[in-house]
Chains A and B, each alone.
Chain A
């Protein structure tokens, strides 16, 4: 029974997307064009260069294309679903999250799980096409593929907590639009979406090592393309696991503080 309830909550967003063909078509076209453009750009950049920053052309193209595909994992138009924290705070309907026989934490987590599984379906389909057309290279070995999958899972888990923390900000500041945009920027820059972190100066790489963003994408993709060898995978996975634990505790604490601020019908 609990699983059925969880399934019903998790499938809300994917069902909403499946019933909006223009958004599905747009997502497909956007992903296809973005992959072609990014692959073309990196091929063009490597036209007169060999290995740069320890990355060969195939590694750089694979990294960049996988970064585009991974960005689909949480690229949903959540605002269109009208179930974001900021919308509920604005309209005062956040109180209903606290009146259901399902805790807000659980509800939020289930919705996010559904969204990420839906995004994963897009990413996997895109990956299969890219692999088939040789746009990306396959992982070096089965072991690399396994470690990459585990690292990607941990990375998405960290990303979930980071997004949650920004949403929780609404309980205290009412608005989080600017914080969300700054987060998206920080996530894209410090996780290596704009360009692999290996291309950046040493001080930048050192700085990003102290933040959770690089653990969301840069680590799994570096493992995939072989920039982080399997022998160094253990420490990288450990850092990801530590971030998961730290952010889980932090967001759990904030859920408690947030609950005290929710006011129903004026008092």
Chain B
């Protein structure tokens, strides 16, 4: 059954990819937009690092590891789990009702509804930035540290997916909740890429416990670069960020299932 589902998902993805190629210029521009969007983060970070002497006591090479981790996690999220973002119109137009009567998980159908062309651009820049950050890094990249970085990227992907799945669950009842998703994306892009200890404690606390953006890349990068004790949270909490990302994602999937069970649609 699982093999059949994977095969079907692969076929749908191939068809979606071909459908995206129908509008060639739009396809190329979507690849470009993924790239330039991420370049904007690099530009901002570079300008700040050039004009100001370090950020929050971090060297520029250490700081670069934060946007690199976040971007790679974001690119993987866009590629594999990103269709939960912007699902409001899908729900508002009643398209999700059709998914309910098909013999496939609604979540999987939502993920397969379109091929994320912009992920190509996102991942290209993210891989480039990660390569740049690692080449500038003076850390000893042992097997343990490298493994932690890989796990951190995956954890960041799951955490981002968890946040957008929670918003999508809310959108099942309030389609306007989609608006929060775009705000979340903006916050992740702007404040998920810098050492948050540059911000006042209350604001840093909000981005840790209110909106857990700090767990996406800041805390894992702090642990990797030896800043784990100065993040404002216990070291162990910063260190288990990848695991928290996975747990948050599993929790969000339960929330999605519960919300879908209570979805009434237009006709009740």
Contact = CB atoms under 8 A, between A and B. Distances in A.
A200 B47 contact: yes
Nearest to A194: B44
Given A40-B203, A52-B51, A189 B40 contact: yes
Nearest to B200: A40
Given A44-B56, A175-B26, A182-B32, A30 B203 contact: no
A4 interface: no
Contacts of A49: 51-53
Given A26-B180, A26-B183, A185-B37, A177 B26 contact: yes
A44 B179 contact: no
Interface residues of A, number: 39
Given A45-B48, A52-B51, A189-B43, A174 B23 contact: yes
A175 B51 contact: no
Nearest to B191: A37
Nearest to B176: A22
Nearest to B190: A37
A185 B36 contact: yes
A188 B203 contact: no
A142 interface: no
B243 interface: no
Nearest to A38: B190
Interface string A166-183: 000000011101110110
Given A30-B183, A44-B200, A182-B29, A175 B23 contact: yes
Interface in A16-51: 20, 22-23, 26-27, 30, 33-34, 36-37, 40-41, 43-49
A195 interface: yes
Given A26-B180, A49-B53, A173 B26 contact: yes
A195 B26 contact: no
Given A23-B176, A30-B183, A48-B53, A178 B199 contact: no
Nearest to B179: A26
B55 interface: yes
A199 B177 CA distance: 36
Given A26-B179, A40-B199, A185-B33, A45 B26 contact: no
Interface string B77-93: 00000000000010000
Given A26-B179, A173-B25, A199-B51, 11 more contacts: A22-B177, A26-B176, A41-B194, A45-B48, A45-B52, A45-B55, A174-B23, A177-B30, A182-B36, A185-B36, A199-B47
Interface of B: 23, 25-26, 29-30, 32-33, 36-37, 40, 43-44, 47-48, 51-53, 55-56, 89, 174, 176-177, 179-180, 183, 186-187, 190-191, 194, 198-200, 203, 206
11 contacts: A23-B179, A37-B187, A40-B203, A44-B198, A48-B53, A49-B52, A173-B26, A189-B40, A195-B44, A195-B48, A200-B47
